Amino acid sequence: MELTKNITLGVYLPGQSSIHNLDPRTKISAATILIVLLLFARSYEAYGLIALFTAALIFCSGIPSGYVIRGLKPMLPVLVIMWVFQLFLYKTPDTAILFEWWVFEATEAGLHMGNLITLRVLFLFTVTTLLTLTTSVVSLTDGLESLLKPLKMIGLPSQELVMTLVIALRFVLILAEELEKIIKAQMARGVAFDQGNFIQKTKKLFPVFLPLFIGAFKRAEELIVAMEARSYTGGKGRTKMKTLRMSSSDLSAAFVMLAYSGILIYVIISVEPII
Amino acid sequence: MPIEVINLNHSYKEGTPFKQQVLFDINLSIDDGEFIGIIGPTRSGKTTLAQHFNALHIPRRGKVIVDGLDTADKQTDLVSIRHRVGYVFQNPDYQLFAPTVSEDIAFGPTNQNLPGNEIKERVQEAMTQVGLDKTLSTRDIFALSGGQKRRTAIAGVLACRPKVLVLDDVTAGLDPRGREEIMSVIHELHRKQRITILFISNSMDEVASLAERIIVVDRGKIIMDDATRKVFARFEELRSIGLELPEITVLMDKLRSAGFDLPAGILNVNEALSSIIAALRKMEVRK
Amino acid sequence: MKKIIETIGLSYCYRAGTSEEVKALQDVNMSVAKGEILAITGQNGSGKSTLARHFNGLLTPTAGDVLVNDFSTAEKKNIKEIRKMVGMVFQNPDNQLISSIVEEDVAFGPENLGLPQNEIKERVDWALCTLNLEHLRREPPHNLSAGEKQQVAIAGVLAMKPQCIVLDEPTAHLDPRGRREVLESAIRLNREEGITIVLLTHFMNEVIHCDRMVVMDNGRVEMQGTPHKIFRQREGVTKMGLDFPVSAQVAAGLRREGFSISPDIIHTEELIDNLCQLK
């Protein structure tokens, strides 16, 4: 019984690789660019290039590729369902029909759409996982805070938002552990979570989430009191212990990103989209 | 109902870069009706070990045999093992979730698909066993005191009629009176029902006053497994792994160093008193 | 001696003015002297935690007044200063650590005070050093034992340089070793840094190391005085649902047998000395 074992999103794996040592702002900006480019990639050629670059990134980060892939496992059912939906439901007027099943028709357009969306989600997940695996929560939030600062001028409470994120990330593991304890306590009294049909299984989750929510609210209350006792009154008037500094390796990273983006944009423009 | 542990090893996060072995070659056997204290510093692996007894952890290397059944065997009905080996967790808030006391206690027997009147009977019996008053049966869980919550949690496990009861640090956070009440409930369960008790605790005073045998776990290994008195006589070793001794044992040790003729391995105040009195009389101290 | 905190006729009701009103504190008059270690004890639900939360204005009185260095907590404009003067550590360390890195968490309070960067760094270094936590500074709290987490929480408060630290059952969920270490830290902060300490606890072996103790029951202060004076009142202490320190238990047993043992014994050393005199 180990719930936290397969969670890779939001987990930081300390290391000394060239990617680990980049300024968090560089990494966050790069990840954002990679994700935006993903949204425009609509050909297998583009995804080939993305796959190559992502593989290179994983290699540079020194993180075992098996560990990154393990994190994809829990998403598999969702991906399969999405793929099937697209296969049967997405249609263009002139597409070829591959086969029929009951009242549904699988089309060639649907197949490509399913593939594209699945690839998109896969790489989106891989890029974000890679970001959190190589960046500690603290530098991640420091980076975000610094990047979001200009938005304060248009009234976005960036400091408060980042503080919320800091706390949320701190409590993800605590809540996961708590969930594990609650499930164990239920199993100890004879609940078999792995038996029964879907509805029965869902019903069994009720006694699990109730204590979890109650516990979470209690924690939140105590946390608010503790923050108040340490003079927290929102972002105003707060100073920071650390300031971020860029180095020459951030410059090289920017060049690599620029080159890669250029090539990818060229591929996106010049290759006919598959759909 | 004996429990047998053979060459048990256990690692967390197996197959990830965070892999960490927490149990090493554990061998252990537990007989019917024993009262065993399990002690060790924080993160020594005592909870992980205990969670193997009711198949919350299934061994990958080594064996755990409960009542003749191998928990790693696919044929073994794990639910029935968990009913035979009850487990009470440290924090009752994780365990209690039904709106009222009696509904919560009924949760285990309901999972066993017992008839309604049998469930009722068991709920009442369990409440009596832990000394919860009948009037509390419709009480809102959240309106209970810390001590009552713990007793409800224990009753919820007892309602499954376990033969072995694992108590994982169940007195943490209680005030002296609440602690005393829980201790006497546990003592009675063992004395009257002859339930095998595995008592995990950070409080050496509690362990010393109740357990007949003590297992000391340190860094995933069993380093002592002996009668309570013999274990606490080895205080230098216990201290070296970061355990604190029962206060009374420390006091007696200091008195011995101050030249009083006192036996080693004293575990409670009454024993201490009679041996001090005997020593003083022997020295013919005038009153 | 100068008082750092004083409550005058303090009463507090939860859900005041509704039908579910609960009187948590009734006419509490007590004070904390500058530089002392004060223990507040009493059964769960006796109101000690509610009382402690009045000391830095987390709660304000329904009736009566609480003064911190002569500032009333009832006045909103005083709160900021009061929180700087009186820091607070809570029972569950998991629910008071904010950051995922120890040193960042210790910096949280000073950052809130808006201090310049180099001063924050100095204070964080000083707080971690004072509590011997330097080796943990880059660790995530997740990897620490409960005792270490509680020490970090204390460091976080210490870095705000308060005159007084209130510890609300900081040892309730710790193992005996963690408990001893937190107690030792509290005593050291008192003796070496001159910080006034208020310690809420159920453990009598912690109470006996304090200069003075306050016993609460049903929202009222029932006993106040030095531990020696209080533990002499055997009936009163039993009625409050408290334990006796182990040495006091042994001493009482010997006295019952007619040996000439002082009724004032609460420490191991006192009992040993007394017994040696009998030899």
Q: Percent helix, strand, coil in chain C (nearest 5)?
A: 40, 25, 35
Q: B280 CB near a chain C CB, below 8 Å?
A: yes
Average pLDDT, chain C: 94
Q: B41 CB near a chain C CB, below 8 Å?
A: yes
CA B276, CA B280: separation in Å to the nearest integer? 6
Q: B29-43 pLDDT, tens per residue?
A: 999 999 999 999 988
Q: B260 CB near a chain C CB, below 8 Å?
A: yes
Residue B257: its pLDDT value, please?
A: 92
Check B94 against A210: CB less than 8 A apart. Answer: no
Check B146 against C246: CB less than 8 A apart. Answer: no
Averaged pLDDT for residues C130-140: 93
CB atoms within 10 A of CB C135: 9
What residue of A is the nearest CA neighbor of B158?
A189
Residue B143: its pLDDT value, please?
A: 85
Contact C39, C201 (CB under 8 A): yes
Q: Strands B3-12 and B61-66: what pairing?
A: antiparallel
Amino acid of residue A169: L
Q: How many pairs of residues across A and C have Cβ atoms under 8 Å apart?
A: 92
Contact C43, C237 (CB under 8 A): no
Ordered domains of chain B (ranges, CATH)? 3-236 (3.40.50.300), 246-287 (no CATH)
Residue C271: its pLDDT value, please?
A: 96
Residue A7: its pLDDT value, please?
A: 64
Consecutive H or E run containing C125: helix C117-130
Q: A16 CB near a chain C CB, below 8 Å?
A: no
Residue with tokens 């919350």: B56
CA C141, CA C98: separation in Å to the nearest integer? 9
The radius of gyration of chain A's CA atoms, rounded to the nearest angstrom, is 23
| Residues of chain A contacting B97 with CB distance shorter than 8 Å | 207-208, 210-211
| Chains linked to B by 3 or more Cβ pairs within 8 Å | A, C
CA C154, CA B189: separation in Å to the nearest integer? 40
User: Which of C242, C247, C279 minimises the CB distance to B251?
Assistant: C247
| Residues of chain C contacting B251 with CB distance shorter than 8 Å | 246-247, 250, 268, 271
Residue C143: its pLDDT value, please?
A: 84
DSSP line for B171-211: TTT--HHHHHHHHHHHHHHHHHH--EEEEE-S-HHHHHHH-
Distance in Å, alpha carbon of C199 to nearest chain A alpha carbon? 16
How far from the centroid of its chain's Cα atoms is residue A17's Cα? 21
Residue B43: its pLDDT value, please?
A: 87
The radius of gyration of chain B's CA atoms, rounded to the nearest angstrom, is 21
CB atoms within 10 A of CB A227: 18
Residue A5: its pLDDT value, please?
A: 64
Distance in Å, alpha carbon of A30 to nearest chain C alpha carbon? 24
CA B151, CA C92: separation in Å to the nearest integer? 22
Per-residue 3-state assignment (H helix, E strand, C coil) for A101-170: ECCEEEEHHHHHHHHHHHHHHHHHHHHHHHHHHHCCHHHHHHHHHHHHHHHHHHCCCHHHHHHHHHHHHH
Buried b (16+ CB within 10 A) or exposed e, B119-158: beebbbebbebbebeeebbebebeebebbbbbbbbbbbbb
β-sheet bridge partners, residue B214: B37, B226
Q: A245 CB near a chain C CB, below 8 Å?
A: no
β-sheet bridge partners, residue C88: C166
Q: What is the dihedral of CA A117, A123, A129, A132, to 10 degrees?
A: -110
pLDDT at C218 over 90: yes
Q: What are φ and ψ of residue A42, in 5° steps?
A: -130, 25
pLDDT (tens digit, 0 to 9) for every residue of chain B, 287 residues total?
Answer: 799 999 999 998 887 777 889 999 999 999 999 999 999 998 899 999 999 999 999 999 999 999 999 999 999 999 899 999 999 998 888 888 888 999 999 999 998 889 999 999 999 999 999 999 999 999 998 888 888 999 999 999 999 999 999 999 999 888 889 999 999 999 999 999 999 999 999 888 899 999 999 999 999 999 999 999 999 988 889 999 989 888 899 999 999 999 999 988 788 899 999 999 999 988 876 55
What residue of C is the nearest CA neighbor of B273?
C250
Q: B93 CB near a chain A CB, below 8 Å?
A: yes
Averaged pLDDT for residues C146-154: 96
What residue of B is the nearest CA neighbor of A64?
B17
User: Which of B54, B96, B98 minimises the CB distance to A188?
Assistant: B54
Choose from B104-108, C21-25, C188-192 the range with maximum mean pLDDT.
C188-192
Q: B112 CB near a chain A CB, below 8 Å?
A: yes
Residue B286: its pLDDT value, please?
A: 56
CA A130, CA B21: separation in Å to the nearest integer? 26
Contact B239, C212 (CB under 8 A): no
Averaged pLDDT for residues C176-190: 95
3-state secondary structure of B213: strand
What residue of A is the nearest CA neighbor of C123?
A241
Which two three-digit tokens encode residue A184?
């164990």
How far from the centroid of its chain's Cα atoms is residue A122's Cα? 10
Consecutive H or E run containing C217: strand C212-217
Calculate what percentage of chain B has a pLDDT beyond 70: 99
CA C117, CA A241: separation in Å to the nearest integer? 5
| Residues of chain A contacting C88 with CB distance shorter than 8 Å | 226, 229
Q: B40-97 pLDDT, tens per residue?
A: 998 899 999 999 999 999 999 999 999 999 999 999 999 899 999 999 998 888 888 8
**Which ipTM score applies to this complex?**
0.88
Residue C35: its pLDDT value, please?
A: 97
Distance in Å, alpha carbon of B43 to nearest chain A alpha carbon? 15
Contacting A residues, span 215-234, partner chain C, CB-CB under 8 Å? 219, 222-223, 225-233
What does chain B come to in residues?
Answer: 287
User: Which of B174, B176, B283 minimises the CB distance to C279?
Assistant: B283
What residue of A is the nearest CA neighbor of C140?
A170
pLDDT at C168 over 60: yes
Q: C253 CB near a chain B CB, below 8 Å?
A: yes
User: Which of B14, B79, B87 minimises the CB distance to A192?
Assistant: B79
Contact C26, C63 (CB under 8 A): no
Residue A59: its pLDDT value, please?
A: 94
**What residue ranges of chain A have pLDDT lower than 70?**
1-10, 194
**Sheet with C3-14, edge to edge strand ranges:** C22-33, C3-14, C63-68, C71-72
